[in-house]
Amino acid sequence: MSRVLVYCGFRQSPDLALPMLGVNGAPVQVADSDELSLLWSEVEWPFDPQRMQKSAVEFHEVVHQVFKQTAVIPFRLLSVFEDQQAFTAFAAENRERFLQDLNRLKDFVQMECVIYPAPSQTQADRSSGKAYLQQKAVALRSSEGLVQAMQDALAHLSRDVRVREGKNGTRIFVLVDRGRENDFRQAVTAVPIPTHLSRRMSGPWPAAEFLSEQVKMPQIDGVAGAK
């Protein structure tokens, strides 16, 4: 049994060097819908659970090869369409939304900074409930202050910023002009950081956090995510 695995969407251009092989060595094919191109492969289904990690790496390599050259809309990791007909219908229904986002984000990339407790500080003082709550409150205020300091330092670079709280720290997503990635890194590094906090930078990535909601969560019939 096979399925249609889609990697990413991008604006058509004859100048792009597209990958030849994708997940599990499957040939990468191009589906064009007016100005929109979608990369896809026909893959064996279900996926072999023993090579899921390798499949994920191969998936990202295909997306990244295109992203290095132009803006892309990455699809959800290892999600598939039941058949070619479902894939074609999806492309036709969502073409204009995809092209609008690609036009809006064509000159930008996504950079990220995560702020989290320093490893030496992960063992909180639990000798008393009061001391523990006080320590948590201080850490929270300090983290919030650092997040704001990061946003202030990046104000001259950022076209948009999103902040998301998680159980492992605070993630700051920053939309910057392609080519200014090092300026981002220098600006983040220049912000003093308390000893009880750490930071981690990554990017550039496709601007997935800044896609419109309809493109982030399209109504897709017959599509299954990797389990």
Helix ranges (DSSP H) in 105-194:
129-153, 181-189
Q: Name residue 172's beta-bridge partners.
A: 113, 163
Min mean pLDDT across 72-76, 132-136, 214-218 is at 132-136
- What's the CATH code, domain 108-208? 3.30.70.2730
Longest alpha-carbon distance in the chain: 66
Mean pLDDT, the chain, rounded, equals 88
Confidence of residue 144 (pLDDT cuts 50, 70, 90): confident
Distance CA 85, CA 222 (A): 10
Angle at 223 between CA 220 and CA 224, to 5 degrees: 135
Model confidence pLDDT, tens digit, residues 91-118: 999 999 999 999 999 999 999 999 998 8
Model confidence pLDDT, tens digit, residues 28-80: 999 998 899 999 999 999 999 999 999 999 999 999 999 999 999 999 998 89
Phi-psi region of 34 (alpha: psi -120 to 50; beta: other; left: phi over 0): left
Residue spans of the domains in the chain: they are: 2-105+211-224, 108-208
